Amino acid sequence: MHNIEPYYHWRHQYVAAEDDQSPFFGRTYSEFEYSNKIYNYLIHPQWDEFGSPTLFAKLLFADYDQRYAIIELIGEWNDCIQNDIMFLKNNIIDKLQFSGISKFMVVCENVLNFHAGDEDYYVELQEEIAEAHGWFVLVNMLDHVFREFQEQGLGQFVSLGVPFQNFNWRKYKPEQLALLIDRHLLAPYLTD
């Protein structure tokens, strides 16, 4: 797991540690010291800790004018024991919402397991996002993680599944991704 780096091809446009509105503002990183672990497995030092002992994040991009953010996750999403949705919402999402972000694309291809818990934070998240005319999309979940989200009925609170599974998001620029998701989620409401 120590070889898995967060996506870095947009670093010439955005660095969360240099963004004073980012929850990760001012963080420093080492390329050589591995200190964060998921259980007994060291992870790459570019991942950010946000309160969960098993789930780490990277804010890949935030555009406050267009009101969207792209976040990548790694680890085990455990709502049952850790209440990871609480950490994600309180320590990342809420802080970005305070700065005007209402659209969130969360890349989950490195989320290795999911354990469901209480859905209160999902309900709250969905209500806040809907009120702000935004969206919360989970992209490229592993099949078993996707099934667990579906079986728990969490798809009523967040967007997941087609076309956000097996989605080649890396070929797009951040602003293109936001427009693609906007178009897909708004398409059912558009009339001729």
pTM tops 0.85, yes or no: yes
In the chain, alpha helices (H): 84-88, 94-98, 120-131, 143-151, 174-186
Which residues lie below 8 Å from residue 131, measured CB to CB, with a gap of 6+? none
Q: Find, among 94, 84, 15, the residue nearest to 53 by Cα.
A: 84
Please identify, in words, the CATH class of the domain defined by 16-187.
alpha beta
Q: What angle do CA 14, 16, 18 make, to 5 degrees?
A: 85
Q: What is the pLDDT of residue 191?
A: 47
Q: What is the pLDDT of residue 83?
A: 94
CB 74 within 8 A of CB 4: yes
Residues 142, 136, 170, 30, CA torsion sign: negative
Q: Which residue ranges of the chain lie beneath pLDDT 50?
A: 190-192
Q: Find, among 151, 16, 120, the residue nearest to 72 by Cα.
A: 16
Distances (CA, A) of 106 to 56, 95, 164: 12, 15, 10
Q: What is the pLDDT of residue 185?
A: 87
Q: What is the pLDDT of residue 192?
A: 43
Q: Could you count the other beta carbons within 10 Å of the beta carbon of residue 80? A: 12
- The first and second tokens of residue 187, run together, are 């398409």
- Annotate 14-48 with b (16+ C-beta within 10 A) or e (fewer): bbbeebeebbbeeeeeeeeeeebebeeeebbbbbb
Q: What is the pLDDT of residue 189?
A: 53
Q: What is the pLDDT of residue 102?
A: 97
CA dist., res. 27 & res. 34, Å (int): 15
Q: What is the pLDDT of residue 187?
A: 63
Residue boundaries of the structural domains of the chain: 16-187
Checking 155-161 for CB contacts under 8 A at 24+ apart, the result is 156/126, 157/119, 157/122, 157/123, 157/125, 157/126, 158/122, 158/125, 158/126, 159/135, 159/185
